[in-house]
């Protein structure tokens, strides 16, 4: 059974930690993001079939707590509670799908167009690929020792990272009805690519 959203007191605790600067420093975003370190299990998990709902928002960004399966604000939330959509691809290059400022550092740099993520030794690559295809359009993928998934646009990769990182395979199996065989935690990150091999955005496009 899928893990449920955090209760209100847990949500308040999470908010307090963010306000006081607690959390994990994210080098790629140059900020405290609260993203768990690799190998740490998430307490909540998004079920897009049940958790998507109408909120006060009509335009992006998407709610980060929704992606992590822990938003307790419901219909009063001021951010979108749904998967990324094609209209969201028009977001400025300076922010991600959650409205966070993007950095010039790392594989998620706003100077490039990286939209690929890599799963380290998934129990079932085809099952994990099926989950990614539900989150957003996948244009390419590689099934070797690791699973590399290339989305049509980086917003889907940004969402997938937050929704899947640290999730238990048995939980995802129950939500998406895929055969992930073994249990364990999802280990996913940005795929490291050479930014010199891809076209850079125009400076004018960053604003």
| pLDDT, position 15 | 41
Q: Specify the DSSP class assigned to residue 40.
A: P
The residue written with tokens 């690799």 in the block is 38
Q: Residues of the chain with pLDDT > 70: what percent?
A: 73
pLDDT for the residue numbered 61: 95
Sign of CA dihedral 13, 19, 21, 25: positive
For residue 5, the model assigns a pLDDT of: 46
The residue ranges of every structural domain in the chain are: 64-192
- pLDDT average, residue stretch 55-79: 95
Give the model's pLDDT for residue 122.
Answer: 65
Convert the pLDDT of each residue in 140-197 to its tens digit. Answer: 998 877 899 999 999 999 999 999 999 999 999 999 998 877 788 999 999 986 333 4
Q: pLDDT at residue 134 above 50?
A: yes
105 pLDDT above the threshold of 70: yes
**pLDDT, averaged across the chain:** 79
Phi, psi of 39 (to 5 degrees): 95, 0
Residue 38: is its pLDDT beyond 70? Answer: no
59-74 mean pLDDT: 95
Alpha helices in the chain (DSSP H): 8-19, 48-51, 64-67, 125-135, 154-164, 169-176
* Out of 8-12, 98-102, 113-117, 154-158, least confident range: 8-12
CATH numeric code, 64-192? 3.30.70.330
pTM value is 0.77
Q: Return the pLDDT at 123.
A: 63
Distance CA 31, CA 21 (A): 9
pLDDT digits (tens, 9 = 90+) for 191-204: 986 333 445 444 34
* CA quadruple 101, 105, 106, 111: dihedral, nearest 10: 80
pLDDT given for residue 193 in this prediction: 60
């Amino acid at each position: 059974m899928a893990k449920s959203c955090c209760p209100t007191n847990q949500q308040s605790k999470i908010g307090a930690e963010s306000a006081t600067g607690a959390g994990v420093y994210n080098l790629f975003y140059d900020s405290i993001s609260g993203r768990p370190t690799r190998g740490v299990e998430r307490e909540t998990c998004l079920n897009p079939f049940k958790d998507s709902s109408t909120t006060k928002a009509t335009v992006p960004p998407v709610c980060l707590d929704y992606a992590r399966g822990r938003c307790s604000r419901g219909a009063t939330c001021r951010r979108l509670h749904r998967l990324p959509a094609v209209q969201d691809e028009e977001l400025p290059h300076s922010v991600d799908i959650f409205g966070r400022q993007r950095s010039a550092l790392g594989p998620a740099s706003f100077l490039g167009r990286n939209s690929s993520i890599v799963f380290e030794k998934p129990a079932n690559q085809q099952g994990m690929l099926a989950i990614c295809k539900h989150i957003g359009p996948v244009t390419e993928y590689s099934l070797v020792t690791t699973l590399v998934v290339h989305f049509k646009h980086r917003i889907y990769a940004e969402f997938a990272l937050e929704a899947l990182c640290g999730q238990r395979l048995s939980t995802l199996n129950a939500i998406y009805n895929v055969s992930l065989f073994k249990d364990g935690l999802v280990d996913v990150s940005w795929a490291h690519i050479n930014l010199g091999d891809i076209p850079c955005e125009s400076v004018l496009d960053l604003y």
